Structure 1
Amino acid sequence: MSRPRIRPVVWSPPPAPPRARQAHSEPPMPAPHLLPVDGAGPEDVAVHPDGTLYTGLEDGRILALPSSGPPQVVAETGGRPLGIEIAADGTLLVCDAYRGLLHVDPASRKMATLVPAGDALTVCNNAAIAADGTVYFSDSTRRFPLAYWRGDLMEHSGTGRLLRRTPDGAVDVLLDGLQFANGVALAADESFVVVAETGAYRLTRLWLTGARAGQRDTLVDNLPGFPDNLSTGSDGRIWIAIGSPRNRVLDWAHARTPLIRRTVWALPERLQPQPVRTAWAMAVDDSGRVVADLQGAGDKYHLVTGVREHGGRLYLGSLVEGSIAVVDLM
């Protein structure tokens, strides 16, 4: 597949906050314990109440990691699984960038397509499941396949979307014009749904109930890094996987002539702006206030794209690592 052309849009990012220039939190993230997954790229991680972990790898396998024993393959999507959620009945909802929104039964290893990838769904990325079975999920970009996700960040054309699938199978678009729509999470009381806009360094909220139902606002703006997957913690806080701190060169280029970004995009990938090695997760409450901030050097684990809090621990996924990282919160 040849590299697609980009059509850069001029944008003036807000000045990066001082936190973006700090190499670690105070205190730093505790050293993680690593759980090998016999493969690469466990982009997200979900935790069953019995302690079993589920993740998807770049080769399309969906793995179960029981509390004891080796990983077990429960499905092979034939695509690239990203976000994973556990439904109330213990089955899995998988966002696959090349296959669409999938349903996987780990017990029978049967897989079904709920929303196929195609013209109506380009890059299915992350999801959240409501108590009634409604699924909220992101379509990151209408312009680029997953292999060229960097192009969407450079272009900044804002074609990402937040979609909803109701229990009867109907699908509709709730939000459009998002800057690389990524992580999705529901408030603990399901009063709102949040979607991470990786390309805009913000979390956008859509109210679902109450007097503000249907209204869109910003939960968190001007984050110090690139937000990826989201999840709701046991106390209702929204956890944010931060893949990398903000990039000064990219921020500078966004506000200049599009020729600069087209030139950078034409360079070999190794010469383009790169993520900084770090392991980083933050959490905010339902007002957007930061209530947890854990960042480490990234020497043992980096490019965190998934985060899940369970039983006093954080479970981290990564787009590039060969393991799931476990961080003690206590």
Structure 2
Amino acid sequence: MLLVAYLFLWPVPIQPVVWAAPAAPGYVGPHAVNTKLANLQIIDLKGEVGPEHILFGADGKLYTTVASGNILRMNADGGGQEVFANTGGRVLGFDFDAKGNLIAADAVKGLLSIDPDGKTITVLTDKVGSDPIRYADGVVVAKNGKMYLSEASTRFAPKDWGGTFEASVLDILEQASTGRILEYDPATQATRIVAKGLAFANGVALSQDEQTLFVNETGKYRVWKIAVAANNLDVTQPNPQASVLLDNLPGYPDNLMRGLDGKIWVGLAKPRNPTIDKLAAKPWMRSLTLRLPRALWPIPKAYGHVFAFTEDGKVVADLQDPTGAYPETTAITETKDRLYVQSLHAHGLGWLPNK
């Protein structure tokens, strides 16, 4: 009796809403199963885990964020590793501005600027008006200096719910679509909402003409095109300034990275799970899930998958490892010689030759 009461009545932090999950396409067409991501070469990160975002700075060094909260700096081959900075929070995505400052989306602290020596850390913005930025995720800096930040959720802040993974699970289970894209203008120090209504707004990238943002909507398996000029646009309502570019993907899209020759790389951190899709129309069952031991949650299996697309939505490369040996792949950082594979929880930094 007590167990029944617990399963039915124990309070949970989410208020799930009904949504229509499209039928999973499986691994077909440009995403047909392959093993091109298997047998990666691994750079030892000396105990650090989860090189989630990787970027080269103007100094030619490779920078990556890791789960400990450190930002690491190293040579292209992994040598000369050092801790560049630690914000005291958890940096997810980052970019560099024209002055060489590292612009960091810190899931705990907001949008930060770290000087080229890694010594001075400045909070650029942590609010939109009086509303806190609760889950900064990705950021890209435009040539005009403006910064575009994805806020994954305005409901679940990692600092309040045990970390970034726990907060993401709550947001995606709830499906309240509170994620948004923000613009910060260093010239005016103003922060505005570009778009809102996204189910876990994640990776963000600029088009080559910098008039359009590409945005991952992780919770609904898709990638959007949103006009930079949009203002407080609700993407749940039809509007010519926003359209879905890639829909019904076979997994959860995480990061977006500009590659060579006009490509944009995206990683699918996890594959689709049939149980989760079946629960889309059953909000009460999603609440029940959180009353079960974590080991019984319908967490998708490990499956390595990254692909590249062009600005018109054509998939031009697809790399997979069905074994998931290198877990939770989030994107690719591409150089002329190498493809560095980003990951949420890998013990090491994977790479393969860029053939």
| TM-score normalised by structure 1 residue count | 0.91
1:31 aligned to which of 39, 47, 60: 39
Structure 1 residue runs of 5 or longer lacking an equivalent are none
- 1:21–1:11: structure 2 CA closer, same or farther, 3 Å change rule? farther
After TM superposition, list the pairs within 5 Å mapping 1:82-231 onto structure 2.
82-116=92-126, 119-146=131-158, 147=163, 148-168=167-187, 169-208=189-228, 215-231=241-257
1:165 Cα offset (Å): 0.8
Distance 1:4 1:89 in 2: 46
1:144 Cα offset (Å): 1.0
Query: For the Cα contact (< 8 Å) 1:24–1:296, is it kept in 2?
Result: no
Give deviations 1:77-104, integer Å, cap 9, x for gaps: 1111101212333321111110111111
Give deviations 1:93-132, integer Å, cap 9, x for gaps: 1111101111112425221111126942010000111111
Q: Which amino acid aligns with 1:268?
A: P
1:233 Cα offset (Å): 1.2
Distance 2:207 2:170 in 1: 31
Q: Which amino acid aligns with 2:13?
A: R
Show the counterpart of 1:323. Answer: 348
1:4 Cα offset (Å): 5.4
Structure 2 residue runs of 5 or longer lacking an equivalent are 1-10, 230-238
Q: RMSD of the TM alignment (CA)?
A: 2.4
After TM superposition, list the pairs within 5 Å mapping 1:302-317 onto structure 2.
302-317=327-342
Distance 2:98 2:53 in 1: 19
1:225 Cα offset (Å): 0.6
Q: Which has the larger radius of gyration?
A: 2
Query: For the Cα contact (< 8 Å) 1:303–1:318, is it kept in 2?
Result: yes
**3-state DSSP of counterpart to 2:170:** helix
Q: After superposing the two structures, state which structure 1 stretch, 51-60 or 165-174, moved more.
A: 51-60
| TM-score normalised by structure 2 residue count | 0.85
Distance 1:74 1:214 in 2: 42
Distance 1:266 1:254 in 2: 17
Show the counterpart of 1:7. Answer: 15
Query: For the Cα contact (< 8 Å) 1:30–1:327, is it kept in 2?
Result: no
1:34 Cα offset (Å): 1.2
1:262 Cα offset (Å): 0.5
Show the counterpart of 2:275. Answer: 249
Distance 2:218 2:28 in 1: 15
Q: After superposing the two structures, state which structure 1 stretch, 12-21 or 36-45, moved more.
A: 12-21
